[in-house]
């Protein structure tokens, strides 16, 4: 059985997805869609794929099972909705939706339709970050006390020449496009926080949106997570995402290349680990993929999507709309916290202190 699929949006990520999915043994790319006539002409000429500039027309005229949506972020919600209305399985690039209400509605619609739904948070398919999740589920570092989530890279390095990604209304800025990655890992590991605080959305070069994101997430039992992200840091050649987790029995630090684990409790050692420092490399934690572009995780997430469709497993997807919506919800909390600002937060804290002193 082959899945008839369309790729919508043929920018950097869309072209990457097209290259990978077009080589998948269980997929037939039935159509491509983009607003650029030049891109469509070139691809149609050299690939023979049926090309459309009108998304709705493509949905009407082509028999599809699924779509991959890799358009600018502001277009995600209406395009996902149109696909779900036709009962199609949907893979949508991150961030899921710029409006939290849209994300909630689409999550409900996807659950009601019973279709496979997935968002492209590729870090969840990086071997080192998957190993972190496995170790946390085993409880090898005991009770978590703190998480440090960081991402830095050279995306916006001058005031002019920015793309749709750096326009708040189209891409959501650093918060939605960059900070969403480490934040999505934090919500995978710890879930939805009870509150957020000290949020700073700072502009370095961009006139319309944030280039830096700093915040603290608060969890039950005294757990906390700190988010530190900048896409205006040219000391990094490309995006670098790092997660550090402190626990009562050890600590874990992971990035794209490796997972470093320090364990002090010999009673809970998993197979292959010893007391003290351990290092597991992504190369030894990653299964081979059928087609390689940029990194195994990009192919792995698409293969995961295809296999979910073939197996009829619309639930339990680790990158489902519901999972992405949790990340979107935290982003909304951060935006609201930043809008309140430090003075407003200070006033609210003073009111709270007076209230508690009255009851005391």
Q: What is the pLDDT of residues 253-304, one digit of tens each?
A: 999 999 999 999 777 799 999 999 999 999 999 999 999 988 999 999 999 9
DSSP character for 154? B
Residues 134, 58 share a domain: no
Q: By the 8 A CB rule, do 95 and 13 touch?
A: no
188 and 251 belong to one structural domain: yes
Given a cut of 70, whether residue 110 has pLDDT beyond it is yes
Has residue 341 been placed in a domain? no
Query: How many CB atoms sit inside 10 A of residue 27's CB?
Result: 23
Confidence of residue 352 (pLDDT cuts 50, 70, 90): very low
Q: What angle do CA 328, 329, 330 make, to 5 degrees?
A: 90
- Does residue 93 share a domain with residue 19? yes
Taking the C-alpha atoms of residue 123 and residue 184, their distance in angstroms, rounded to an integer, is 8
Q: Report the pLDDT value the prediction gives residue 351, as an integer from 0 to 100.
A: 52
Say yes or no: 83 and 62 in one domain.
Answer: yes
pLDDT per residue as tens digits for the range 293-350: 889 999 999 999 999 999 988 888 999 999 999 999 999 999 999 999 875 655 655 5
Check whether residue 150 and residue 282 sit in a common domain.
yes
Residue-wise pLDDT tens digits, 35-94: 999 899 999 999 899 999 999 999 999 999 999 999 999 999 999 999 999 999 999 999
At 132-167, the pLDDT tens digits run 999 999 999 999 999 999 999 999 998 865 565 556
> Are residue 96 and residue 176 in the same domain, yes or no?
no
Could you list the residue range(s) of the whole structural domain that residue 13 is in? 3-122+307-320
The total domain count for the chain is 2
Q: Is residue 336 part of a domain?
A: no
- CATH code, domain carrying 71: 3.40.50.720
Whether residue 343 is contained in a domain is answered as no
Does residue 137 sit in the same domain as residue 261? yes
Q: How far apart are CA 178 and CA 240, in angstroms?
A: 10
Query: Same structural domain for residues 155 and 133?
Result: yes
Identify whether 207 is part of a domain.
yes
């Amino acid at each position: 059985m082959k899945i008839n699929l369309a790729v919508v949006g043929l920018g950097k990520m869309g072209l990457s997805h097209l290259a990978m999915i077009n080589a998948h043994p269980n997929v037939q790319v039935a159509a491509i869609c983009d607003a650029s006539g030049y891109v469509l002409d070139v691809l149609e000429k050299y690939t023979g794929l049926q090309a459309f500039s009108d998304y709705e027309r493509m949905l009407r005229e082509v028999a599809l099972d699924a779509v991959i949506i890799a358009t600018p972020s502001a277009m995600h919600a209406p395009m996902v909705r149109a696909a779900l209305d036709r009962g199609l399985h949907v893979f949508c690039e991150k961030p899921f939706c710029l409006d939290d209400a849209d994300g909630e509605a689409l999550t409900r619609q996807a659950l009601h339709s019973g279709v496979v739904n997935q968002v492209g948070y590729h870090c969840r398919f990086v071997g080192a970050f998957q190993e972190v999740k496995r170790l946390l589920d085993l409880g090898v570092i005991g009770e978590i006390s703190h998480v440090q989530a960081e991402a830095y890279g050279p995306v916006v390095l001058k005031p002019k020449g920015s793309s749709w990604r750096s326009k708040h209304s189209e891409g959501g800025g650093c918060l939605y496009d960059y900070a969403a990655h480490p934040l999505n890992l934090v919500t995978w590991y710890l879930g939805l926080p009870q509150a957020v605080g000290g949020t700073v959305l700072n502009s370095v070069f961009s006139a319309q949106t944030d280039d830096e994101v700093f915040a603290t997430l608060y969890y039950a039992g005294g757990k906390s997570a700190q988010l530190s992200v900048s896409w205006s840091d040219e000391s990094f050649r490309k995006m670098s995402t790092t997660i550090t987790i402190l626990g009562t029995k050890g600590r874990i630090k992971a990035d794209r290349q490796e997972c470093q684990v320090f364990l002090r409790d010999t009673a809970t050692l998993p197979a292959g680990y010893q007391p003290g420092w351990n290092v597991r490399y992504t190369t030894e934690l990653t299964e081979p993929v059928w087609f390689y572009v940029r990194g195994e995780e990009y192919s792995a997430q698409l293969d995961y999507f295809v296999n979910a469709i073939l197996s009829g497993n619309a639930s339990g997807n680790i990158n489902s709309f519901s999972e992405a919506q949790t990340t979107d919800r935290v982003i909304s909390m951060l935006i609201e916290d930043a809008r309140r600002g430090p003075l407003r937060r200070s006033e609210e804290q003073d009111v709270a202190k007076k209230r508690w002193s009255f009851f005391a």
